[in-house]
């Protein structure tokens, strides 16, 4: 199983000749199920189109009066592609849900590994946009929020959407987490409290001293469960038999029943958008609310082997 986009592109074409198969467990790049598709690969991650349309639909419902959006993105292909996908999604969803055509102000761009966002924050503090979206990943994102708070930037926006920090955002910021920020998550454990797999994973996490689990957990868990179910049901680890089962079977995972779409091997399950809020009680933050979206409502039509059109 391969977790990141770079290794995905380096290896995706090798599996047919090697007579082997894989489940990619982390890249949201749409080309996996389009330009670069082959029958030996599956993906357990919702693609960027699906994630951004989930986000746009939820924001259109929650904040129908936001007319203009801007953001902050890293100066890499994933940052620019993510912003383009968000713009497309907001243009699709806001007219349908909120009955308005959204407007956009170009996002601020920062180099990867940036430790000083003051210039970007200064520009953002003067913008007329009411909605904000950020895809600064890992420590970059945490640094941005820490510096943004010093300048009161979160108060400038009605809503903030975070694409890269997951549950690590409130864990790191605690009581300084912006009260208007929502994180895109492949899975939020609080949305599936009665799911037996969620109970099992959370019990294991707590036993290791971690009472939380990130949304990325579902990607690897889903891949393992898919393989296990395929081998159990077919009684074989032969890739032809396993692949055939994966194209038509379903299995239970952390976010309910999932399956790979037969035409392009895109995962179809559920995903979440979570609203973090600061609290006086420990640990200093909570999930104020969350939204669960079924992938069937946001997945684009299958088009394997064809160029992905941004």
- Which two structure tokens, joined as six digits, stand for 235? 């009684």
Quickly tell me which residue has 């489940």 as its tokens. Answer: 23
- Which two structure tokens, joined as six digits, stand for 8? 């995905």
State which CATH number among 3.40.50.300, 3.30.56.10, 3.40.630.10, 3.40.50.2300 fits the domain covering 49-185.
Answer: 3.40.50.2300
DSSP code string of 94-140:
HHHHTSS--EE-PPEEE-TT----HHHHHHHTT---SEEEE---HHH
Quickly tell me which residue has 């959407």 as its tokens. Answer: 161
Cα angle at 45 between 286 and 23, to 5 degrees?
Answer: 135
Question: Closest Cα partner for 310 from 138, 84, 126?
Answer: 84
The residues near 139 (Cβ < 8 Å, ≥ 6 apart) are: none
What's the pLDDT at 180? 97
Would you tell me the crossing angle of helices 239-248 and 217-234 to the nearest 10 degrees?
110
DSSP code string of 136-191:
--HHHHHHHHHHHHHTTGGGG-SEEEESS-TTHHHHHHGGGS-TTEEEEES--GGG
83/123 Cα distance (integer angstroms): 18
pTM: 0.94
299/177 Cα distance (integer angstroms): 31
DSSP reduced 3-state for 69: strand
Query: Contact 63/97 with Cβ under 8 angstroms?
Result: no
What's the pLDDT at 106? 97
- Which two structure tokens, joined as six digits, stand for 99? 């009955």
Q: Please provide the size of the chain in residues.
A: 310
What's the pLDDT at 3? 63
Q: How far is the first Cα of the chain from the last one, in angstroms, to the nearest whole number?
A: 26
Quickly tell me which residue has 């029943």 as its tokens. Answer: 257
List the pLDDT tens digit at each of the 310 positions of the chain: 556 788 898 999 999 999 999 999 988 899 999 999 999 999 999 999 999 999 999 999 999 999 999 999 999 888 898 999 999 999 999 999 999 999 999 999 999 888 999 999 999 999 999 999 999 988 999 999 999 999 999 999 999 999 989 999 999 999 999 999 999 999 999 999 999 999 999 999 999 999 999 999 999 999 999 999 999 999 999 999 999 999 989 989 999 899 999 999 999 999 999 999 999 999 999 999 999 999 999 999 999 999 998 6
Residue 308 CA neighbour count, 13 Å, CB half: 18
DSSP code string of 280-292:
SSTTSEEEEEEEE
200/109 Cα distance (integer angstroms): 41
| Alpha-carbon distances, residue 187 vs 95, 108, 193, 297 (angstroms) | 27, 28, 12, 16
**Other C-beta atoms lying within 10 Å of the C-beta of residue 185:** 24
256/274 Cα distance (integer angstroms): 18
What's the pLDDT at 310? 64
What's the pLDDT at 2? 55
What's the pLDDT at 284? 97
Question: Closest Cα partner for 148 from 184, 180, 183?
Answer: 180
What's the pLDDT at 155? 96
């Amino acid at each position: 199983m391969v977790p990141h986009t770079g290794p995905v592109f380096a290896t995706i074409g090798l599996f047919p000749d090697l007579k082997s198969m894989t489940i990619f467990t982390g890249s949201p790049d749409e080309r996996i199920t389009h330009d670069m598709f082959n029958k030996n690969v599956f993906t357990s991650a919702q693609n960027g189109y699906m994630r951004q349309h989930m986000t746009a639909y939820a924001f259109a419902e929650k904040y129908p009066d936001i007319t203009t959006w801007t953001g902050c993105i890293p100066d890499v292909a994933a940052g620019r592609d993510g912003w383009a996908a968000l713009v497309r999604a907001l243009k699709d969803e806001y007219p349908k849900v909120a009955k308005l055509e959204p407007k956009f102000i170009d996002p601020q761009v920062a180099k990867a590994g940036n430790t000083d966002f003051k210039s970007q924050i200064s520009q953002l503090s003067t913008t007329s946009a009411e909605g904000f979206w950020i895809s600064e990943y890992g420590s970059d994102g945490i640094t941005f929020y820490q510096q943004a708070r010093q300048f009161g930037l979160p108060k400038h926006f009605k809503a903030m959407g975070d694409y890269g920090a997951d549950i690590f955002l409130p864990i790191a910021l605690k009581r300084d987490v912006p009260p208007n920020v929502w994180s895109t998550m492949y899975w939020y454990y609080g949305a599936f409290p009665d799911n037996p797999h969620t109970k099992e994973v959370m019990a294991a996490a707590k036993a290791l001293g971690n009472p939380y689990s990130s949304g990325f957990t579902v990607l690897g868990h889903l891949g393992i469960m898919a393989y296990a179910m395929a081998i159990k049901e077919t009684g074989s680890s032969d890739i032809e038999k396993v692949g055939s089962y994966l194209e038509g079977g379903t299995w239970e995972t952390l976010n309910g029943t999932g399956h790979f779409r037969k035409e392009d091997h895109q995962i179809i399950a559920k995903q979440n958008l979570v609203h973090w809020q600061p609290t006086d009680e420990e640990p200093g933050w909570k999930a104020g609310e969350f939204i669960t979206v079924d992938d069937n409502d946001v997945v684009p039509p299958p088009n394997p082997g064809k160029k992905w059109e941004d």
